[in-house]
Amino acid sequence: MDYASKLSLMVSVVAVFFGVLLLIFFLAAKAKGKAQTPLARLIFLGPAALLVTIGLVIPAIQTTYFSFYNSDGNKFVGAKNYSWIFTTPDNWVFLRNTALWIVITPILSTILGLTLALLMDRMKRESLPKSLIFMPMAISFVGASIIWGLVYEYRDPAETQVGLLSAVVSAFGIEPPNWLLWQPWNNFLLMVIMIWIQTGFAMVVLSAAIKAIPTDVTEAAMLDGATGWNLFRKVTVPMIRGTLVVVLTTIAIGVLKVFDIVRTMTNGNFGTQVLANEMYAQAFVQFDKGRGSALAVVLFVAVIPLIVYNVVQLRKEQSIR
């Protein structure tokens, strides 16, 4: 297909999609009486519900099913895959790392993002630093891994260091370690990449939330004598609490699922393995459907506390409203 054909295909698809939608809206709006609301509900909710069921619910059920089967998915093995996950000593490495990732990355990204949002809120030229810090969000993981490969590159101390971090450390007269082998700190070096990507996200969202705090709230607080840190702790944080939760959750879920960074930087070697990459390796490199599925289920279950917390938070807000 040539370019023109591809582009006209794209335009046609978008046009057909909206055309059909408008037609349905037009026809359904003619419905009268009792049927009107249920019909609207069906039309509004139906397509999304159907797609989500096909694309996510059914695969999730299938995955759970296969997690109790052998590597080829044709023999029931009970909880064997799960006991493999938790009783193999080597697996503790990725369980530990995953726990570290999910605690450290969202918290650091959020703290940095919040600090930046607060500091920039009163800066005159906030748009340039904001753009630059948010920029990594627009870079793919493949691109990010090439960028950070340049930073962590290590050469023999006898040679010229071409990696930025090695060169900086050498400039201080310290012999640089081989960064990606430097256990357990190499885990943190990989987390830096994720923090680099996510801080901008946290900053932008939190900045919007801070700007949304009504002026009279802060003024009232100050009339009551709140200043500086107190004001931040007692007014700003409670006012943006909902946003904080959303930011933390979104980053945490992203972190749990991320495997690109680990896969491209170390492939999970040198004590840097994480759950999502182990799952990918089991399912797609070693063709062990059972173990891959069981790891996916563990991943799923690991996020449940986050979901529950969000639900509780949501309920609270609804009850206030």
Residues in region 57-96 near other proteins by CB under 8 A? 57-60, 62-63, 71-72, 90
SS (H, E, C) 145-180: HHHHHHHHCCCCCCCCCCCHHHHHHHHCCCCCCCHH
Contact 246, 205 (CB under 8 A): yes
**Segment 158 to 177, residues that bind other proteins, using CB under 8 A:** 159-164, 167
Does position 129 bind other proteins by CB under 8 A? yes
**Segment 204 to 243, residues that bind other proteins, using CB under 8 A:** 204-205, 207-228, 231-232, 234-236, 238-243
Residue 209, Cβ density class (10 Å: 0-12 exposed, 13-18 middle, ≥19 buried): buried
- Residue from 45, 79, 99, 111 that binds other proteins (CB under 8 A)? 45
CA atoms of 228 and 232, how far apart (whole Å)? 6
CA atoms of 142 and 129, how far apart (whole Å)? 24
If the CB atoms of residues 106 and 200 are measured against other proteins, the closer one turns out to be 200
What is the smallest separation between the CB atom of 95 and other proteins, expressed in angstroms? 16
**Segment 2 to 31, residues that bind other proteins, using CB under 8 A:** 3, 5-7, 9-10, 13-14, 17-18, 21, 25-26, 28-29
Pick from 133, 134, 165, 123: nearest CA to 148: 165
- Residue from 37, 76, 174, 185 that binds other proteins (CB under 8 A)? 37
- Residue from 23, 54, 79, 111 that binds other proteins (CB under 8 A)? 54
Does position 110 bind other proteins by CB under 8 A? no
Tell me the residue type at 151: V
**Segment 173 to 202, residues that bind other proteins, using CB under 8 A:** 178, 180-181, 183, 196, 199-200
Residue 30, φ and ψ in degrees, nearest 5: -75, -15
Contacts of 224 (CB under 8 A, 6+ apart): none
- Residue from 137, 169, 188, 313 that binds other proteins (CB under 8 A)? 137
- Residue from 76, 86, 184, 269 that binds other proteins (CB under 8 A)? 269
Contact 141, 151 (CB under 8 A): no
Contact 96, 280 (CB under 8 A): no
Gyration radius of the chain over CA positions: 25
- Residue from 146, 174, 185, 305 that binds other proteins (CB under 8 A)? 146
What is the smallest separation between the CB atom of 100 and other proteins, expressed in angstroms? 19
**Segment 246 to 265, residues that bind other proteins, using CB under 8 A:** 246-247, 250, 253, 256-257, 260, 263-264
What is the smallest separation between the CB atom of 117 and other proteins, expressed in angstroms? 10
Does position 320 bind other proteins by CB under 8 A? yes
Residue 265, φ and ψ in degrees, nearest 5: -85, -45
Does position 293 bind other proteins by CB under 8 A? yes
